[in-house]
């Protein structure tokens, strides 16, 4: 054991040295000077102090008070239009997979407390429906909506039109084929058998190809950028672009990692998909949209960079907390627990920035659907991450591991955090691409309340069920069947919450389709700031 510990120490030392070097490099190359100026790069000249909120009903129009300002607005309109075909295909596909994925989720949920429900055929058996739900919402909805939002933000962040749009469109087509084949394979019983990695490795090549095709326009646009500072969102997007292919490739290489090693690779991957793929996308989007809608830069740009590097250092090593108590070396589990707890550092820095920027402006979430979704998403990021750090502690994990508590936590992260931010982003992006209003504001409100109440019921019921289940499992005097019976009312409540969420998605998708089919009122020219709806309809 001693050589292992020595090696571990050396590696930990190396790791911290690298972190320190990066920090020194950042300071010496003046990454941190002008830091607040960097935070202002998302505004056009003179725009600071004015809200950009395409989905809001009542915005005072700001069209720039000087020639330069007006020119910058026109340039941004050109940038938005440049990404239109790519963004539309990624977002429309994402919305489609959201509907499919949540439908399978609801079915799986009902089957949990009503095992005879659609039980006659292998096509609808729980063990196939559940992974189809997970993969559809992770690789279909979250990843595709995230990439769509990134493709929209990249020209804005680099202040130049998107180059290589056809690559991104082709990428979306290939990615969609991947999701269809992958879900089909699971339904046919051809799953690879590891959670988060169910898609057969033969299908996984399509994702690598589709993702690589998306990287082309990102890098081409980045090379032509006209901004001096890289805004923090682009840091997250660039890193995610490196991380995802790396992870996805290693974890999916077939027949390399047997048995217990396979389990460590499995969970190293699964938690990194969350930490190094969807989280950077979600946080990056929030870092753009919150200050943009408020019209004020984030309060500390310095802090945002510390948050970025600490996220990279700590999040990449948390995965093995999924195997606490499992048949793997103790040092490995301890390493992941330590890093899970250290995750509170990037989480707190992001929280200070997101919520600190919101401070004094909370009233705005009443009128702005985008801000309401995105800020609540950001708040849930703080909540779910801190909860995750606690769940990695051995004393808590011994109760929550193997229970519904984990499922509740996963939905707090993937839904209340990530999906809320993606909903907000779509409400922000679509009016800009189509130059149309969202047709019915009440539908946005209905969507919000259905999914908000839905996830609340979902989270509270499963968290309670999981905690009680975990305590009971530790005490062998409680018969197993009794524990199963005890959870049933909570599982029924989860179906109710899930049903509300699906209803919300139907409202959202219908609204989205109407938006696509150009039912909304036309906005006025390339001003980018809308005038009142009433004035348009007159």
Q: What count of other Cβ atoms lies within 10 Å of the Cβ of residue 258?
A: 8
Q: Which of 331, 531, 335, 354 is nearest to 431 (CA)?
A: 531
526 binds another protein (CB under 8 A): no
Q: Sign of torsion, CA 114 118 121 122?
A: negative
Rg (CA), the chain: 23
Binds another protein (CB under 8 A): choice among 103, 126, 205, 467: 126
Site size toward another protein (CB under 8 A) is: 95
23 binds another protein (CB under 8 A): no
Q: Restricting to residues 325-354, name those near another protein by CB under 8 A.
A: 325-329, 332, 335-336
Write down the least CB distance from residue 76 to another protein, Å: 21
264 binds another protein (CB under 8 A): yes
Nearer to another protein, 230 or 510 (CB): 230
Q: Restricting to residues 480-509, name those near another protein by CB under 8 A.
A: 480-481, 484-485, 488, 491
5 binds another protein (CB under 8 A): no
22 binds another protein (CB under 8 A): yes
CA distances from 368 to 29, 289, 362, 375 (A): 39, 12, 11, 10
205 binds another protein (CB under 8 A): no
Q: Restricting to residues 229-248, name those near another protein by CB under 8 A.
A: 230, 235, 238-239, 241-243, 246-247
Q: Give bridge partners of residue 522 from the DSSP assignment.
A: 436
Write down the least CB distance from residue 15 to another protein, Å: 5
Sequence-ordered list of residues with C-beta below 8 angstroms from that of 359, at least 6 positions apart, any chain: 299
222 binds another protein (CB under 8 A): yes
Nearer to another protein, 255 or 366 (CB): 255
Write down the least CB distance from residue 226 to another protein, Å: 13
467 binds another protein (CB under 8 A): no
Binds another protein (CB under 8 A): choice among 28, 67, 115, 363: 115
Q: Which pairs with CB-CB distance under 8 Å and at least 24 residues apart come from 347-352?
A: 347/381, 347/382, 347/385, 347/386, 347/389, 349/303, 349/304, 349/306, 349/307, 349/310, 350/283, 350/304, 350/307, 350/311, 350/378, 350/381, 350/382, 351/378, 351/381, 351/382, 352/299, 352/300, 352/303
475 binds another protein (CB under 8 A): yes
Q: Residue 74 has which token pair?
A: 């026109």
What is the C-alpha separation between 531 and 529, in angstroms, rounded? 7
Q: Restricting to residues 428-457, name those near another protein by CB under 8 A.
A: none
Buried b (16+ CB within 10 A) or exposed e, 498-522: bbbbbbbbebbbebbebbbeeebee
Q: Restricting to residues 289-328, name those near another protein by CB under 8 A.
A: 309, 312-313, 316-317, 319-320, 322-323, 325-328
Write down the least CB distance from residue 36 to another protein, Å: 18
Q: What count of other Cβ atoms lies within 10 Å of the Cβ of residue 395?
A: 7
Binds another protein (CB under 8 A): choice among 40, 50, 84, 111: 111
Nearer to another protein, 290 or 312 (CB): 312
For residues 392 to 411, the per-residue mask of contacts with another protein, x marking binding by CB under 8 A and - elsewhere, is --x---x--xxxx-xx----
Largest CA distance in the chain: 79
Binds another protein (CB under 8 A): choice among 194, 344, 368, 461: 194
């Amino acid at each position: 054991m001693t050589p292992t510990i020595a090696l571990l120490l050396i590696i930990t030392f190396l790791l911290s040295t690298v972190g320190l070097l990066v920090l020194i490099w950042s300071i010496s190359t003046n990454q941190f000077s002008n830091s607040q100026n960097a935070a202002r790069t998302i505004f056009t000249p003179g725009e600071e102090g004015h809200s950009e909120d395409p989905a809001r009903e009542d915005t005072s129009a700001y069209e720039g008070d000087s020639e330069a300002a007006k020119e910058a607005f026109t340039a941004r309109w050109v940038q938005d239009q440049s990404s239109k075909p790519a963004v539309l295909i990624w977002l429309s596909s994402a919305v489609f997979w959201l509907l499919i994925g949540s439908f399978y989720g609801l079915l799986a949920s009902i089957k949990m407390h009503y095992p005879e429900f659609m039980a006659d055929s292998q096509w609808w058996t729980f063990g196939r429906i559940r992974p189809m739900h997970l993969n559809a919402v992770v690789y279909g909805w979250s990843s595709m909506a995230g990439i769509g939002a990134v493709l929209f933000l990249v020209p804005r962040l680099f202040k130049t039109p998107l180059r290589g749009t056809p690559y991104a469109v082709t990428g979306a087509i290939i990615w969609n084929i991947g999701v269809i084949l992958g879900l089909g394979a699971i339904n046919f019983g051809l799953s690879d058998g590891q959670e988060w990695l169910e898609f057969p490795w033969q299908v996984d090549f399509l994702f690598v190809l589709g993702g690589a095709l998306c990287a082309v326009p990102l890098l081409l646009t980045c090379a032509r950028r006209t901004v001096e500072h890289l805004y923090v969102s682009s840091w997250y997007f660039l890193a995610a672009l490196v991380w995802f292919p790396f992870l996805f490739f290693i974890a999916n290489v077939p027949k390399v990692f047997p048995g217990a090693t396979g389990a460590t690779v499995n969970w190293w991957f699964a938690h990194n998909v969350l930490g190094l793929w969807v989280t950077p996308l979600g946080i990056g989007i929030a870092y753009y949209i919150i200050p943009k809608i408020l019209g004020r830069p984030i309060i500390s740009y310095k802090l945002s960079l510390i948050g970025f590097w600490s996220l990279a250092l700590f999040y990449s090593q948390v995965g093995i907390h999924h195997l606490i108590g499992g048949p793997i070396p103790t040092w490995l589990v301890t390493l992941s627990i330590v890093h899970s707890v250290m995750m509170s550092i990037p989480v707190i820095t992001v929280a200070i920035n997101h919520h600190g920027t919101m401070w004094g402006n909370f009233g705005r979430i009443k009128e702005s659907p985008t801000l309401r979704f995105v800020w609540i998403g950001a708040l849930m990021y703080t909540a779910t991450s801190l909860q995750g750090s606690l769940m990695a502690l051995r004393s808590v994990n011994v109760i929550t591991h193997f229970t519904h508590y984990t499922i509740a936590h996963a939905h707090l992260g993937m839904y209340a955090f990530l999906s809320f931010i993606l909903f907000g982003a779509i409400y922000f992006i679509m009016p800009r691409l189509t130059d149309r209003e969202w047709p019915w504001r009440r539908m946005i409100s209905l969507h919000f309340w259905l999914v908000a109440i839905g996830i609340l019921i979902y989270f509270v019921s499963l968290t309670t069920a999981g905690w009680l289940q975990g305590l009971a499992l530790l005490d062998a005097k409680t018969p197993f069947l009794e524990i199963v019976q005890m959870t049933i009312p909570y599982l029924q409540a989860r179906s109710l919450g899930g049903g509300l969420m699906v209803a919300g998605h139907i409202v959202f998708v219908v609204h989205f389709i109407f938006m696509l089919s150009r039912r909304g009122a036309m906005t006025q020219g390339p001003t980018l700031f809308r005038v009142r709806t009433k004035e348009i309809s007159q």
